[in-house]
Structure 1
Amino acid sequence: MNLLTVLRVRRLLPLLLVASRLAAQAPTAQDSVRMASYEPREVMIPMRDGVRLHTLIFTPKSQTGDLPIILNRTPYGIAGARASFGGSIAELADEGYVFVFQDIRGRFTSEGQFVMLRPPMHRKDPKAIDESTDTYDTIDWLLKNVPRNNGRVGMLGVSYPGWLTVMAMLDPHPALKAVSPQASPASMFLGDDFHHNGAFRLAYGFEYAAMMEGGKELTPFQFDKADAYSWYLGLGSLATVNDSVFKRSRPTWNDFAAHPNFDAFWQREALMQYLDRVTVPTLNVAGWWDQEDFYGPIKIYETLEPHDTKHLNYLVVGPWNHGGWRGRSGQTLGPLDFGSPTAKYYREKIEAPWFAYWLKDKGTLDLAEATTFEAGANAWRRHDAWPPKTNVTSRRLYFQANGKLGFEPPRDTGRVFDAYVSDPNKPVPYRARPIKPTFGAGSTWSTWLVDDQRFVQDRPDVAAWESAPLPEDLVLSGDVVAKLFAATTGTDADWVVKLIDVYPEDDAKLGGYQLMVANDVFRGRFRSSFEHPQAIAPDVPQEYTIDLHTQSYRFLKGHRLRVQVQSTWFPLIDRNPQTFVPNIFAAKDADFRAATQRVFRSKGAASYVQLTVQNPPLVP
C-alpha cells in the first residue's frame, strides 16, 4: 500500500478516536430511543464499471412523507453507523432523513481497488472512475431504489470523509443539493497531517505508518521508553529508521523518504487545483485548535470564495480540536471552558437548519457568510466575509529590546538582534515531558495545542518577547502572519513561531497560563520554492514570511501577548540538521550541528507579528 493509499486510510483514524470517546459515554434513554427508531437495510450498490460498494441505508420507522437523503462515505468502516444516531448526528436524526453510510471502493466489504486520495479523473474521459463518479452513481441508485425519497441529497463528513465530500462537489449529481466538508485536508505537504511548510511531522507520520501498515489490526507502535521524546532522539538520523525499525516494511515511510520536496507526488494530491467552481451550497467547518487539519478547511473555503458568484460558500470555525464539533458538548478543551456546549450549538443551530433549508425548504437561511467562535469573549460572531474586510485594522507587534513586545516600531539602527543557540542533538520538546505516544491508550495528542507553554520559557534555545499588560481588550479577527528577519550560522534552519496569550498571575483558575493562540513552523530551505530547496547563506539575514493562519480570539484586559521563536519542536517536527543536505531523510549523524540563530529587530530589519485586529472590539 503506497502513501496515497495510506493518506486515504488515515482519514478514518481521527473519527475512530472521536467515536471511541463518544462510545465511552453511556447512551441516554433518548439516545437509545433515537437509535431504535431507524430501520437498517444493507445493499451492494453497483458503480458504472461494475464494482459494488457496501452500503447501509437507515430509514425512519415512522416515516410519513417523502424525505431527503443524507450520505456519508468513508474509508473507516460503517459497521457501527447506528451508534451515531445517539451522538454525532443526533440533531439531524431528530429532524428526520434517510441516512446512508457507504464503505468507499476497496475498503472493508466494498469491491474494487482502494486508492488513497484518488485523484479526480479527466473530465472528458467517460470511462474513468474516481470518488466523484462513485458518489454520482451512488446517488443515482439511491434515488431509484429508496422508496419515498424527495429527490434531494445532502452529504457531510469529517477528515477523510470531508475530503470525499469535496470530491462529490467537483462534478455533482443534480440531486446533490447541500454539502458540508468538515476538517478536510487540502495539502499533505503544505499544511495538513504530514508536513507544515515542508517540515516533516515526525511523531504523527512515523506512528501512523507503523500502525496502518503493521498488519490487519490497527495496533499502535509499542515504545520501549516511557518518554517518546527520548525514544525518537535515540533513533539518531532518520536514515536509520528502515535499518533499525521498519526494515523497509512500511511503504508509507519509504514514500516519505523518497519525496522530501513538493514534487509531483505531493502536488497531485493538493486539493486547491481542483476547486475552480462552486457547484452546490457548501458549509465548510473547522476547529481553531485542530491538531491535524486546520489548514485544509480554511484553504478550501478561501479557494472556493472567488468562484462563489451565487453566495453558496459558507464557513464555520469553532473552539474545537479535530472533529470536536461531533462530540456531545464541546464546552471544554483541555483546561479551557468556553462557557456553553459549543458542539451542540453548532449541530442544533447551524448544521441542522442548514440541511433542513436546502433539502426540505424549511425555514429561512439565517446564516452569516462566516460564523466564528471568539474564544476569550466566549461568543459566536457573524461576519459578512472571512477574513473580515470592514472594521478591522492591521497592526504590527514588534520584537523590541530586553525581551519586550509592542506596537511601536524599533528605532535602533545597525545589526541589532536577539540570539540563541539551536542544537538538534538537544531539541526543544513540543510539549512537557514525558511525551506520550500519538496513538494508543492514554494519549493526549488531541489537546496538545492548548498545553501551557511555560514549560519552555526558561530554555536558552527559545527566544521570547512579551508585552506589558493590555490596557483594554484586543480582538483578533482575521489573518496572523509572522515576518522574521533572521540569520543562521548553519546552512539550513527551521523557524517556529508561537503567538501566546499570557494569563494574569492572579487568575483564579489559570494563573500565569501561556495559551498558544496561533503557531506554525517553516523550513528555511523552502524560503524561495517548495519544489526546489536551497541552502541558506551563513550569517546573512534572510526575510521569512510565516503564515500563522487565521483567528477569532479576544486577549482580555490585563493579559499579556507573548511571541516565542525557536528552531526545534521535537518530536512533532523532525530535526533539521542545520547543515543543508539534499534529503534530510538521508542525513548522517555528523550532519546534525549546533548553530547560532539571530532574530533581528532593527529599524531596517524589524521582525514582527502582523495581527488583524477588530476595531472597535465587539461587546464581550
Structure 2
Amino acid sequence: MKPSARLLALPVFELIFACAFVLCALFSHAQTSVPETRYDRREVLITMRDGVRLNTVIFTPKTAGKPLPFLFRRTPYGVSKAPFPDQSSYTQFMADEGYIFVAQDIRGRYKSEGTFEMQRFSRNPADPKAIDESTDTYDTIEWLLKTIPNNNGNVGMYGTSYDAWTSVMGALDPHPALKAISEHATPADMWIGDDFHHQGAFRLSYGFEYAFMEEAAKTDTLFPFSTYDTYDWYLKLGSLANVNKKHFLGKLPAWNDFAKHPNYDQFWQKQALAARLGRPKVAIQHVAGWWDQEDFYGPIKAYQIWEKGDAKQQNHLIVGPWNHGGWARGDGRKLGNISFDTTTSLTFRQSMLAPWFAYHLKGKGDGKFAEVTTFQTGTNRWKTYSQWPPTSAVKRNLYFRANGRLSFDKPTDASGADRYVSDPAHPVPYRPRPIEETYGPGSRWYTWLTEDQRFVHNRPDVLTWETEPLTEEVTVTGTLLARLFAATTGSDADWVVKLIDVYPERYPKEPHMAGYQFMVANDVLRGRFHRSFEKPQPLQPNKTERFTIDLHSLDHVFRKGHRIMVQVQSTWFPIIDRNPQRYVPNIFEAADADFQKATHTIFRSAAHPSHLELNIVD
C-alpha cells in the first residue's frame, strides 16, 4: 500500500526527493519567483452524510473555457502540500488536457475529521446511516458537482497504492457521475499477496513500520530505530510477541489485527477485494509494475476478479517494468541497474493514462484500448494481448537436476536430493546489508527486487540450480508456479523461490552487468499452509510433501547466451518474519525458545521431481 502521499500523486515517502527536485528547478529558472501555474487553488472541508468533514484541495484552471470534468484522488498521506497539477510528472499530461483536480484526506488522516481505519470494511447497505470509503466518495462527488462551477458532470478517479484502493472503493457503489477510474497498484488481498503477507508469511519489516507510520499519529511518522541496519534491530527483537510487550503496547489497531489473525480467516477474507467486487460498474484501467515491491499482486488480481463479470468490455490491464509508483515519476528508462531502452513511464502517462480519461470524461479519441498491455522485458518492447494470461503459451516444466543444473528434461533417477540447514538465528537477508528503514533516509527499498542476487549465491542455506547458456531465446509469458517436493526435520518451514535471469559473463553492451543475477519472479509460502490457508497444520518431520508456491506472472524473454537460474531458501529477513521451524499455533505468540535449526531437503528424482511450471511462447 505504502506512503503514496504525493506531490499530487508522488508517494509521500518520496516527498523529500520531489521537493528537492522542484527546488532545484526553481533555482535554475528563477531564484526568487514561484513557477507559473495554470491553476487556482482552494482548500475546503466537505461535510459527509454523518457530519464528519473531510479536508479537500481543489485545483481549478484559471482559464477553463468549456466546462471540465473532475479528476479525483483520495489518500491517507496528506493533500495540503500537493503541488499544482501542471507541476507534477504524474498529472502533467492530464493537466495539459484540462481538468479540475481534487485531492482529499480520508477520514482520520491529516486535516480530515473522523477516525482512520486501515482499509475500512464496506458498510452494511441495509443501514442508511452506515459509512465507508464508497459513501465518502459519493458524498464528495455530489458536493463537487453542486458547488464547483463550470464542470461538465463527469468524474474520474486515479491514484497509486492506498489511493488506488480508495478509487476501487469509489467504484463499488459509484455516483452516477463517476465514469472511469485508473487504479495503480491497488492492494487486493493483504494476506495472500500484497503488503502485509505473502501466502501466509508475514511481511515483518513492512507491516511493523507501516502500522507505526499510519497509526502512531495522525500524520506519517517513522519509527525511531536505534540502529541504521534494521536487520540487526529486528534480529535482536526476537519473537513477534515482543512487539507489543516492548514497543506498541497494544495501541496500534493494525498490529493487533496482525497478531489476532495469523491465518486466512474471515477478517482477511472480508477485507479482500474478492469479497467486495461484483461486475464492473465504471470503466477501469488497472496498472501494475513487474518489480512493485509492495502491491504487484493486487492490480492483476483485481483485473482478474472484475474480468469475470465484464460484459461491457470496460476492464483493462497494463503492466510495465516499474517499482511501486514508478509509472508516476521519471521517464522509466531504468530501474536500479536494469535498463529498458525506452521511456516506459513517460509512454504510460502520455499514451495510456491521459487518453484513458480524455475518452471517458471528454469523449476524445476512439476508445479502442487494448484489453491487456504489458512491457515484455528482455526484448524491452510493449505487447498487447486479448486476455491475461494469454492462451497462446504452452506449459513446460523446468526441473531441478543433479549438480545444480536445471533442465526441461524430467529426471529419471530413482533418488536425488539437495539439503541445507536453515537457522533462524542467522537468517538470509532479503537484500544486501545494511537494510535501511523502509522509508528512512538513504533507503534502497525501492529497487531491491532488481538487485544482483550474487550477494547470497553459494551461501550454504541457499540452494541454486541453473541451465547451461541458452542456445535460443526462452519466452515466459503468463502465470508460473514452483512445485517443490520437500521435507524438513522441523514441524514448519518457509519456502522462498526465486526465478533469475543470469547475464553472460561477457556483456559488452553494459560491461558492469556481466554475470548479473536478475530476479524476474519470486515469492514465499509458509509451509503450514500448504494444504489450507484457513486451517494450518504442522508438517510431519522428515515426511516428503508437495508444496506449490505461486510466483504469479511475468512477460520476460531469457535471451540467447543467458542462463536461467532458480534459488530456494527458507529465510528472507527481515521482509519476512522468521519461522520458528517448530510449529506453534500462532507465530505472533511464539517464545524465543521455539526457534530452532532445521535441515530442509529438496527432492529431484523421478518420483519427486521438483520443478517450475512455466508458460512458454514459441
Q: 1:136 aligned to 2:132?
A: no
Would the alpha carbon gap of residues 217 and 65 (structure 1) be closer, same or farther in structure 2, given more than 3 Å must change? Answer: closer
Shift of 1:216: 5.4
The one-letter amino acid paired with 2:153 is: G
What CA deviation, in whole Å up to 9, does each residue of 1:94-118 have, x standing for no partner? 0101111112223222233332211
Q: 1:574 aligned to 2:577?
A: yes
What CA deviation, in whole Å up to 9, does each residue of 1:108-132 have, x standing for no partner? 2223333221111223333322111
What CA deviation, in whole Å up to 9, does each residue of 1:68-105 have, x standing for no partner? 11111112111122344312100100010111111222
Q: Structure 1: how far apart are the matches of 2:436 and 2:42?
A: 42
Q: What SS is found at the alignment partner of 1:268?
A: helix
Shift of 1:373: 0.6
TM, length-normalised to structure 1:
0.94
Would the alpha carbon gap of residues 437 and 108 (structure 1) be closer, same or farther in structure 2, given more than 3 Å must change? Answer: closer
Q: Structure 2: how far apart are the matches of 1:491 and 1:527?
A: 13
Shift of 1:435: 2.0
Deviates more, 1:313-322 or 1:142-151: 142-151
Q: 1:196 aligned to 2:198?
A: yes
Q: What SS is found at the alignment partner of 2:437?
A: coil
From 317, 320, 323, the equivalent of 1:318 is 320
Shift of 1:248: 4.1
Q: How many residue pairs align between the two structures? A: 606
Q: 1:63 aligned to 2:64?
A: yes
Equivalent position of 1:402 in the other structure: 403
Is contact 1:12-1:159 (8 Å) kept?
A: no
Equivalent position of 2:517 in the other structure: 514
The one-letter amino acid paired with 2:324 is: H
Equivalent position of 1:41 in the other structure: 42
Equivalent position of 2:19 in the other structure: 23
Shift of 1:139: 1.3
The one-letter amino acid paired with 1:317 is: V
Q: What SS is found at the alignment partner of 1:78?
A: coil
Q: 1:205 aligned to 2:207?
A: yes
Q: Structure 1: how far apart are the matches of 2:107 and 2:595?
A: 44
Equivalent position of 2:413 in the other structure: 412
Deviates more, 1:109-118 or 1:381-390: 109-118
From 297, 304, 307, the equivalent of 2:309 is 307
Q: 1:528 aligned to 2:531?
A: yes
Q: 1:280 aligned to 2:282?
A: yes
Is contact 1:334-1:450 (8 Å) kept?
A: yes
Q: 1:448 aligned to 2:448?
A: yes
Q: Structure 2: how far apart are the matches of 1:519 and 1:328?
A: 26
Would the alpha carbon gap of residues 49 and 254 (structure 1) be closer, same or farther in structure 2, given more than 3 Å must change? Answer: closer
Deviates more, 1:97-106 or 1:107-116: 107-116
Q: Structure 2: how far apart are the matches of 1:297 and 1:247?
A: 34
Deviates more, 1:520-529 or 1:43-52: 43-52
Q: Structure 1: how far apart are the matches of 2:216 and 2:312?
A: 48
Would the alpha carbon gap of residues 209 and 141 (structure 1) be closer, same or farther in structure 2, given more than 3 Å must change? Answer: closer
Q: Structure 1: how far apart are the matches of 2:602 and 2:206?
A: 29
For residues 216-615 of structure 1, the aligned pairs below 5 Å read: 218-390=220-392, 392-413=393-414, 415-507=415-507, 508-615=511-618
Q: Structure 2: how far apart are the matches of 1:347 and 1:183?
A: 15
Equivalent position of 1:3 in the other structure: none
TM, length-normalised to structure 2:
0.94
The one-letter amino acid paired with 1:25 is: F
Shift of 1:601: 1.1
From 183, 186, 197, the equivalent of 1:181 is 183
Q: 1:156 aligned to 2:152?
A: no
Q: Structure 2: how far apart are the matches of 1:66 and 1:223?
A: 51
The one-letter amino acid paired with 1:536 is: L
Q: 1:51 aligned to 2:52?
A: yes
Would the alpha carbon gap of residues 601 and 528 (structure 1) be closer, same or farther in structure 2, given more than 3 Å must change? Answer: same
The one-letter amino acid paired with 2:452 is: D
Shift of 1:11: 5.8
Would the alpha carbon gap of residues 74 and 584 (structure 1) be closer, same or farther in structure 2, given more than 3 Å must change? Answer: same
The one-letter amino acid paired with 2:595 is: F
Shift of 1:531: 1.8
Aligned-CA RMSD value: 2.0
Would the alpha carbon gap of residues 247 and 108 (structure 1) be closer, same or farther in structure 2, given more than 3 Å must change? Answer: closer
Is contact 2:85-2:95 (8 Å) kept?
A: no
Is contact 2:85-2:101 (8 Å) kept?
A: no
Q: Structure 2: how far apart are the matches of 1:294 and 1:34?
A: 36
Q: What SS is found at the alignment partner of 1:100?
A: strand
The one-letter amino acid paired with 1:505 is: E
The one-letter amino acid paired with 2:506 is: D
Q: What SS is found at the alignment partner of 1:142?
A: helix
Structure 2 unaligned blocks of 5 or more? none
Q: Structure 1: how far apart are the matches of 2:161 and 2:609?
A: 39
Equivalent position of 1:618 in the other structure: none
Shift of 1:214: 4.1
The one-letter amino acid paired with 1:89 is: T
Identical positions, percent: 55
Is contact 2:189-2:271 (8 Å) kept?
A: yes
Deviates more, 1:255-264 or 1:237-246: 237-246
Shift of 1:217: 5.6
Q: Structure 2: how far apart are the matches of 1:499 and 1:210?
A: 33
What CA deviation, in whole Å up to 9, does each residue of 1:367-396 have, x standing for no partner? 210111111111111111111112x11111
Is contact 1:289-1:320 (8 Å) kept?
A: yes
Deviates more, 1:574-583 or 1:130-139: 130-139
What CA deviation, in whole Å up to 9, does each residue of 1:308-332 have, x standing for no partner? 1111000011111101111021211
